[in-house]
Structure 1
Amino acid sequence: MLKKTLLFIALVSFAQGETFKEFQQKQMSQESGNKQEFAKYKKSQEDAFEKYKKAQLKAFEDYKKSLGKYWKEPKLSTKKEWVAYTPDKKTRTDVDFEKNTITLETIADSPEDAKQKLKTALARVVTIDNKGVQESDPLEKILDKIKKPSGVIDAQVKNEPILSNIIFDKTPTKNSIKTYVDDHVKNNKITVLNSKIEGFHVYSLNIPMPSDSMQKKAQQYYGDVKYFAAKERLNIPLLFAIMQTESSFNPRARSYIPAFGLMQIVPSSAGMDAYDYLYNERRLVSSSYLYNSTNNIMMGSAYLHLLYFKYLKEIKDPTSRLYCTIAAYNTGAGNIAWAFNKNKNLSRKQKYSMSYAAEDINSLSPGQVYNRLLSDLRFDEPKLYLKNVSKRMIAYDKIYNH
């Protein structure tokens, strides 16, 4: 149909006295113009996102600075810790998903006042859902006021549990919440430290979460993991191992890059590639889009699909390609190529080319590829990442494939 349309346009053009060469030049000019328009649009989007990132970073720094008025060590959420403050900034909860602990801290002028604040904070942190955090957290409210670039894809955060399904065997009642809080907030467990504010102290309490918390969190996301693993022709243990290594199943995970959510998606790189693969459109997604667990698992699965079936497709052995895919999820496909090309007499651009690297990779056994990645990747982080994901895949394989 397209060829017929172009032929018709050409015939009309010739009928109007335009030569074939002139017609070709016009077509080429139009195509060049379209490419320039797309490049201009893409750059404007990237520039807008960089401006948005800077505004977010400034908001983070300003908020952290305001916390410094009360706390000797202001803390904010990370990949594996969800940190939240009350509006007055004098009470904070720190849920460490990797260490499996809840730390409560409050600044108070008496043990009685502190105990009540700690009880309130504990009751809230073990019952609030993800949507509730997004809508009520003081820092999220500040970030939400920053104008997003036009065309950014947004979404609602789901009202799914964060800790309640770990702490309680069934939907908690007022009585079960009160019993849990009373059992854990006791005077003999509370530590008292000096405060920056004269006449006040910092009252601190550490509470271990159930030993099977990691398994419960994994099970919570099993439906989405199973669905997207099948859709993208991936392995269920791979998705779970990536998720645990990235965030320890912290749905509020955020890193400095910034990357968001369970599988730590960076909107301007993996996020844009995944969205383009899924919807045929290069668009940025927001943090709230990625705090939605279904969206996050969908995007992470899509990016793994791209790595395995597109970016690293020249690697023939499936196990070798899997090792490279795992490392690339952390450090990028270009750095995988560099690990195998760095000693070759190539240009800088060629050293990051998979075509050259694939020649070496395909001449090695999977075990040799694994060892080469551990020895020659440029940074220690992706080396440790590959080790952890590979080890955890074995554990998840025993649970879900046997």
Structure 2
Amino acid sequence: MRRRDFLGAAALAPTMVRAQEFEEYRRQQQAGMEASGESFEAYKERVRAAFDDYRRQHEAAFRAFQDRVQSVWQRPEFTDRHKWVEYRDGVSVQRVVDFQGNQIRLKLPAGSEAGRARAELTDLLLEDEQTAFQRDPVSRQVEESVDGLPVDVERGSPGKEKILGGLFSRPRPERADAVRKAASLLEGASEGREPVKDEQGGDAWATTLTIPMPEGTALEQALDYRPRARELASEWDIGESLILAVAHTESTFNPRARSHIPAYGLMQIVPESAGRDASAELFGEPRVLAPSYLYEAGKNLRIGAIYLHILYHRYLASIRDRESRLYCAIAAYNTGAGNVARVFTGNTSVEAAAAALENRPAGEVYHALVEGLPHAETREYLPRVVRRLKAYRNS
């Protein structure tokens, strides 16, 4: 295993310069706050309260949408890390892109006119980041609510990149391409039905179509993001293959991913942890990253890359063996540096963990993490990222 391949060129001098510039900026910010009469502790409390409010706004928006969907669907599905779910025509039409399961599921009112399935699938294939955001009631409600937060908010402008662009052979598919692709995909569909409620609350049925996507769709999606990952790898002194491996594991390259926490997008950015730390690095102070910012795929990848940089080059910098530090950084992306340190020392001190890791082979560190991390999700996460990292490095 070649360590250089994991992290790219080890441009440690630029990394040190960036860290020094950031620390100087922080000192200036703290001095400015003190001059304005706000203590640093009061500032931190204001930031913490803003992120708490962000989370509450998301929870309220999701509950309202969930109640609406459950009034019709007895077995509803919602967007998560690996699925993108949309409801159309009120909530009578359900469209699911299961990136991990490599299939699309369409659910339409029973008795829908001939051609409805193809029209819905064609529309889905042509949907871009901007349209998907406009059709997302939860994210739009959260976007409106962050106006009143007592900290700076960064917004984005989701663009015209197709969510399912990896299904097409050319970068800018036209409607005719989508019509042909929809017809081709529907040839492999299987049909079923499931119970729903009609507008009056009575019993009804929905027709379900399960549509397999071509094998290797996730890898085709990865190709769309590789140029951006390459730029970020150079800018933030981490490996292109590491960025892709983390995105694959976090979301299966679902740019519309959203967890209940909430975590957003390709790199599953949690605004109050990775988003806070990475925005402080990028802008010089913690900022709230609105859904529109995190649903821009390029910006989402950037925040994830910056957070990996922070973990590897700052939080875990005292771990001298590069390969061991890499394994710790991957695990920390999922569970936090403190939980990683706890594996080796029983407490959250990274410095103590670094001392405990002196002279331990990297392979031993890897196995200690896989066996000792506190959550099964993280124990499984590390091997998945490492396996995919090797695959992207060699592709």
Give the TM-score band, short-chain normalised. 0.7 to 0.9
| Cα distance, 1:164–1:306 mapped onto 2, change above 3 Å | closer
| Cα distance, 1:233–1:71 mapped onto 2, change above 3 Å | same
Equivalent in the alignment of 2:8: none
Range 29-38 or range 201-210, more displaced: 29-38
1:156 correspondence with 2:160: no
Partner Cα distance (1:259, 1:133) in 2: 17
Equivalent in the alignment of 1:5: none
Equivalent in the alignment of 1:96: 98
Equivalent in the alignment of 1:47: 49
Contact 1:64 1:75 in 2 (8 A): no
Partner Cα distance (1:100, 1:264) in 2: 19
1:267 correspondence with 2:268: no
| Cα distance, 1:191–1:274 mapped onto 2, change above 3 Å | same
Contact 1:91 1:117 in 2 (8 A): no
1:312 correspondence with 2:316: yes
1:225 correspondence with 2:221: no
Partner Cα distance (1:46, 1:54) in 2: 13
Equivalent in the alignment of 2:27: none
Deviation, structure 1 residue 107: 2.1
Partner Cα distance (2:59, 2:244) in 1: 30
| Cα distance, 1:53–1:179 mapped onto 2, change above 3 Å | same
Partner Cα distance (2:40, 2:263) in 1: 26
Equivalent in the alignment of 1:357: 353
1:239 correspondence with 2:235: no
1:397 correspondence with 2:393: yes
Match 2:381 to one of 378, 385, 388: 385
Alignment of 1:137-216 (within 5 A): 137-148=136-147, 149-150=149-150, 151-169=152-170, 171-185=172-186, 189-197=190-198, 198=202, 200-216=204-220
Partner Cα distance (1:186, 1:395) in 2: 32
Deviation, structure 1 residue 284: 1.8
Higher relative contact order at CA 8 Å, sep ≥6: structure 1 or structure 2? Answer: 2
Partner Cα distance (1:98, 1:173) in 2: 26
Contact 2:74 2:195 in 1 (8 A): no
Range 49-58 or range 232-241, more displaced: 49-58
Match 1:63 to one of 55, 62, 65: 65
Q: Counterpart of 1:233 in structure 2: which amino acid?
A: D
1:319-359 Cα shifts (integer Å, max 9, x gaps): 011010110110000011111111xxxxxxxx111111111
1:254-282 Cα shifts (integer Å, max 9, x gaps): 11111111111111111111111122222
Alignment of 1:24-35 (within 5 A): none
Name the SS for the 2:145 alignment partner. Answer: coil
Contact 1:167 1:209 in 2 (8 A): no
Equivalent in the alignment of 1:22: none
Partner Cα distance (1:56, 1:38) in 2: 28
| Cα distance, 1:184–1:366 mapped onto 2, change above 3 Å | closer
1:368 correspondence with 2:368: no
Range 195-204 or range 82-91, more displaced: 195-204
Q: Counterpart of 1:385 in structure 2: which amino acid?
A: Y
Contact 2:33 2:39 in 1 (8 A): no
1:228-254 Cα shifts (integer Å, max 9, x gaps): 101111111111111100010000111
Equivalent in the alignment of 1:255: 259
| Cα distance, 1:94–1:121 mapped onto 2, change above 3 Å | same
| Cα distance, 1:127–1:365 mapped onto 2, change above 3 Å | same
Q: Counterpart of 2:156 in structure 1: which amino acid?
A: A
1:298 correspondence with 2:302: yes
Deviation, structure 1 residue 211: 1.3
Q: Counterpart of 1:394 in structure 2: which amino acid?
A: K
Q: Counterpart of 1:98 in structure 2: which amino acid?
A: Q
* Bigger radius of gyration among the two: 1
1:120 correspondence with 2:119: yes
**Consecutive unaligned residues in structure 2, runs of 5 or more:** 1-30
Range 351-360 or range 162-171, more displaced: 162-171
Name the SS for the 2:253 alignment partner. Answer: coil
| Cα distance, 1:59–1:281 mapped onto 2, change above 3 Å | same
Partner Cα distance (1:294, 1:159) in 2: 12
1:92-134 Cα shifts (integer Å, max 9, x gaps): 11101111111111123x2x43x44322221111111111111
Partner Cα distance (2:358, 2:386) in 1: 20
| Cα distance, 1:224–1:308 mapped onto 2, change above 3 Å | same
Partner Cα distance (1:227, 1:275) in 2: 18
Name the SS for the 2:97 alignment partner. Answer: strand
Equivalent in the alignment of 1:6: none
Name the SS for the 1:190 alignment partner. Answer: strand
Range 388-397 or range 150-159, more displaced: 150-159
**Consecutive unaligned residues in structure 1, runs of 5 or more:** 1-28, 343-350
Equivalent in the alignment of 1:21: none
Q: Counterpart of 1:397 in structure 2: which amino acid?
A: R
Deviation, structure 1 residue 136: 2.9
| Cα distance, 1:142–1:36 mapped onto 2, change above 3 Å | closer
1:48-95 Cα shifts (integer Å, max 9, x gaps): 331232122111011111111110022211011000011410001110
Equivalent in the alignment of 2:28: none
Question: RMSD of aligned C-alpha atoms?
Answer: 2.3
| Cα distance, 1:187–1:263 mapped onto 2, change above 3 Å | closer
Equivalent in the alignment of 1:287: 291
Equivalent in the alignment of 2:74: 72
Deviation, structure 1 residue 165: 3.8
